[in-house]
Amino acid sequence: MKKRKMLPKKNAQIGLYLYCNTHKRWYKDDTVVQCKCELTYKAKLHVPGTKRACKCKSFEADTLETAIQLFNQFKIEMKNNSYQNVCLETFDKKPIFLTDCQQRFIDFKNDIGVEFHNMKNLPRRNIRHAEMVLEYMNEALSTNGIKTATFRFEEINDKIVGFVTAYFLGPKDMANKTFNNNIAPIKTFMNFIIKKYYPTMANPFDEVEKLKVVSEKLVVKKDEFLSVINLVCPENLVIEKINKKTQKLNRRHYYRPWLIDGFYLAMLGGRNEEVSNLKWSDIKLNNEGQKSFIQVVDLKRTRNIKHKSKLEKDGLVKKNIEMTPYLNKLLNDLGYEEKKNTNEYILANDEPTSRKEISNILSTAFNFLIKKLNLTEKKEFRNLRKTYATDCYLKDPEKFYKEMGHTNKYTTLNHYVDMDFVMEERRRRLYEEKE
C-alpha cells in the first residue's frame, strides 16, 4: 500500500498543492483532503500582471522533499521565461490510467503544453462543461464498481459505453438534448487521446447515436404577449425555489420597472444577452439623419470564433436590427432624443447589477409569467426570437434569414420559423382579401 502524500499546513510552499485527478480538486494541505484517492503534487502559479491566469504542472514525486525541490525548479524556470507559454507537462510519456488521460485532455483544453497554432482560447464555461462531463463519466464507472484511478484507458470497450449511457439516461435522467450535449465531449476526449497515444485503438463511443430532439418552433401570439405584459407587477414576480442542498425555501423578487421595455425590445429578435447590452450608440443613421438600424454584436457567433487572434483581426461578429415604425416609436419613448450617440445602455442603464444578471432577470421573469397563462404549449423567452423569425419569413420568404444574422435560410427554417403559424396567418389573410 502506497504511503499517503503529505503537505503540512505550517510553512507550506505557496503555490504547491495536493491534487486529485479523479475529483479535479486542489488541496492546500493534507488536513483538508476530503477523498481517499491517490493524490499528486501539483503547482499552480499566478502569472504576474494578470487577473486570474495561472501556470500549472504536476510532479512525479513520492516525497514532500522531492516535490518541493521540483516545485522550486519550476518557479525558477517560469520566472526566467517571463511566464511565457511553454510545455509544462511531459507529454512524451503515454498516460496509462483513465484519470491521467482525462487530465491531459483538460490541460489541452486550457492550452497547457499546446503550441500556439493549436491553441483554442476556450471560454472557462466550455472547459468547466468538459470537466463536469468527465466527472459524470467517472461517476458512472464508480457506480458499476470500477475504480477510475486504476482503470486503464485501453480497457474502455462497449461495456463501459453501456455503463455511461445507462447512467446518463437512468440516474441522471438527462433529456435527449442534454444527453447529446454531454456525450459529445466524451467522444472528443476519446478521439484526442486515441489520436495522440493509442492510434490503433477504435473509439467505442462513436457507436453512440444522437437522440432525436424535437425543435419547438412556437410563436408567442399577440394576445399571449399582451397577457404577459398585463401580469407585470411586483406581486406577480415573487419566485420561490427550494435549495436542493439545504432544502430551504428561497424567495426572490424579480420585478423591475424596465421589464416591459425589455420584453418589447426582445420582440425584435435579439437574445436576452443581446437585448441587455444594447446601447444608444448602436443606433445607425441614414444619409437623411433618420434612424436606419441598430447594429449589435452577435454574441453567440462571436463566441464561436475559437482563436482570439482571429477575433482581434476580423473584429466582432455583428448583425443589424431593422428599424421598423414600431421600433422607432419605442426608442423615442425610451428617450432617444436625450440619449442618442451616448454610450449608455438602452435598457436598465441605472441598474447597479451586471449585464449578465439583467439578461437572466429578463428571461426568468418572462418564463415565470407566461407559465401563469397555463397555455397548452410550453412557451418561453426564447420563443420571442422565433416569433420574430416567423414574422420576417411572412414579410420576405427569400431574405428572412438575414434578419436573424444567419448565413443560410435552412438554419432559420429548421429551428426558428413556425410553419404552422405561417400557414394559419396566410389563410387568415386570404379570407380577409375575399371578404
More reliable by pLDDT, 411 or 141: 141
Which three three-digit cell numbers place residue 200?
A: 490503433
Which three three-digit cell numbers place residue 321?
A: 436590427
More reliable by pLDDT, 116 or 126: 126
Please give the average per-residue pLDDT across 117-132, as a whole number.
84
Contact 92, 277 (CB under 8 A): no
pTM as predicted: 0.62
Q: Cβ-count burial of 297 within 10 angstroms (0-12 exposed, 13-18 middle, 19+ buried)?
A: middle
pLDDT of residue 13: 80
- Confidence grade of residue 87 (pLDDT, cut at 50, 70, 90): very low
Q: Grid coordinates 386570404 are at which residue?
A: 430
Closest Cα to residue 205, out of 221, 192, 224, 220?
Answer: 192
Contact 258, 350 (CB under 8 A): no
* C-alpha neighbours within 13 Å on the C-beta side of residue 258: 18
One-character DSSP codes across 134-146 = HHHHHHHHHHTT-
Residue type, 31: T
Q: Left (φ > 0), alpha (ψ -120 to 50) or beta: where does 11 sit? A: left
- Confidence grade of residue 210 (pLDDT, cut at 50, 70, 90): very high
Which residues have a Cβ under 8 Å from the Cβ of 31 and sit 6 or more positions away?
9
* C-alpha neighbours within 13 Å on the C-beta side of residue 256: 24
pLDDT of residue 138: 95
Flag the least confident range among 4-8, 49-53, 93-97, 330-334: 49-53
Backbone angles phi, psi at 16, to 5 degrees: -100, 130
pLDDT of residue 345: 93
- Compute the distance between CA of residue 382 and CA of residue 366 in angstroms, rounded to an integer: 10
- Compute the distance between CA of residue 135 and CA of residue 47 in angstroms, rounded to an integer: 28
Over its C-alpha atoms, the chain yields an Rg (Å, rounded) of: 27
Residue type, 182: N
Alpha helices of 11-52 — where are they, by DSSP H? none
279-329: pLDDT as tens digits: 999 999 988 888 988 888 877 777 766 555 555 445 677 878 888 888 889
